[in-house]
Structure 1
Amino acid sequence: MTTPMPRARDAQATKALLLEAATDEFAECGLAGARIDRIAERAGANKRLLYVYFGDKNDLFDAVLAEQTRAVVAAASLDDGDLCAFAAARFDYMLANPRARRLATWRVLERSEPTALEREAFQTRVDAVASAQRAGRLRDDIAAVDLFAIVLRMTEGWLSASPGLLATAGDDPMSPARLAEHRAALLAAVRRVSEPAPGQG
């Protein structure tokens, strides 16, 4: 007996549930460790529908990564090349979305090739930095791609720090006070590393 296909509205809701469940599963277990059965069970959906909507597990992982890429780009835009605003927004987003942090780690470990969406997202941001350099708003003695890469990594410094480093900050390295202190330090550092060099222009 075949499983009847849900109506369009139900189909969208089921796809959303499956994608949410897959995001949880991949964040916890990575691509290799994730199980289709567990994803379907988390979503309370028929496993067959997962294959119908997304294809195999690799395709589902790609769909999760695409959603995460779009979310972080929307949350931390860099249209005007303002690296300080970008750093603040990205730090805030990654702090509020621990799944995104874990998925980013799994993505680096388990996928070596960028997707077209990832490549476009990064290229757009590097281009924005280059444009701000030409306009004199950012230092131009460091290549745009390197300047962006440095700032990008700075936004993750505390959130992905080793337990040993976190332990040096006291009993609660993720307390609101400690995070606020680090955020202020992050923005001061980004401002210093990205401001136009003396004599630029």
Structure 2
Amino acid sequence: MIILDAAEEMFAELGYSAARIDGIAKASGYNKSMIYQYFGDKLGLYTEVIKRADQISEQATGSTITDFMKNDNLVKDPIVFRLFLEKITKEIYEFLLEHPRHLKILFWEAAEDWKTWNQITYRPDDITQLYELAAAAKKNGIIRQDFDPAMFPILILNMTTATIQAFSRYGNVLGKLDSPQIREQTIEQISKFIIHGVMEPSLL
């Protein structure tokens, strides 16, 4: 949708606080009253932008979670669990690279202490799924006993977003992410970090 595209671009470039409905209306080619009619207010429009990004992400990573969740051995077999970690890390990383505006919105939220994010009523349920999965894996001895399952989804998301952000700063050392080889190496390194950070060492 044109309005959501314009809003996403504005929120990504300026952050929620500085973005203005007037600017979004001008960029989209629609009048301001129509935006208010469809979305209520700026927070309502922002919510729809976040919801759409999450739905696109769900299409990218949802099948991976769903397929692995159907496997009874996921939280029992360390090999299956490790494959899951490699796959979901790769898909989240590639999604963020392919949707840089959503990544910028996440960075704006972090800079503003997530104050706007915590106001919206829409809440993706993938965090809950990942927590429950980690809790079950820990119960079965696959995840380290000194690791808190609540940290599991946080670790995966923060490792991917922070690494992408770091490439802009350390590109002269790390290389450029537009190189397929560099992308694959980076995904592999993140996966290894997560795997060795959460899984029981004796199973590696």
Query: Cα distance, 1:154 vs. partner?
Result: 1.6
The match for 1:145 among 145, 150, 170 is 150
**Rg larger in structure:** 1
Query: Cα distance, 1:119 vs. partner?
Result: 6.2
State how 1:63-102 maps to structure 2 within 5 Å.
Answer: 63-77=48-62, 78-79=65-66, 80=69, 82-102=84-104
The match for 1:27 among 2, 5, 12 is 12
CA contact (8 A) 1:141 1:197 kept: no
CA contact (8 A) 2:2 2:28 kept: yes
* Structure 2: gaps (5+ residues): 70-80
* Structure 1: gaps (5+ residues): 1-15
Query: Cα distance, 1:118 vs. partner?
Result: 2.9
Inter-CA distance 127–116: structure 2 relative to 1 (3 Å threshold) = farther
1:185 corresponds to: 189
The reply on whether 1:195 has 2:189 as its aligned counterpart is no
Q: Structure 1 length as normaliser, TM-score?
A: 0.77
For residues 94-117 of structure 1, give each alpha carbon's deviation from its aligned partner in whole angstroms, at most 9, with x where no partner exists: 011111100111223343226443
1:167 corresponds to: 172
Query: Cα distance, 1:42 vs. partner?
Result: 2.0
Query: Cα distance, 1:137 vs. partner?
Result: 4.3
Q: Structure 2 length as normaliser, TM-score?
A: 0.76
- What is the RMSD of the two structures over their aligned residues, measured on CA atoms? 2.5
**Paired-residue identity, %:** 23
Inter-CA distance 117–140: structure 2 relative to 1 (3 Å threshold) = farther
For residues 62-107 of structure 1, give each alpha carbon's deviation from its aligned partner in whole angstroms, at most 9, with x where no partner exists: 2212222232233224353732221111001001111110011122
For this pair of structures, how many residues does the alignment match?
Answer: 183
CA contact (8 A) 1:140 1:197 kept: no
The reply on whether 1:124 has 2:129 as its aligned counterpart is yes
Inter-CA distance 137–154: structure 2 relative to 1 (3 Å threshold) = same
For residues 146 and 159 of structure 1, what CA distance do their matches in structure 2 show? 20
2:3 corresponds to: 18
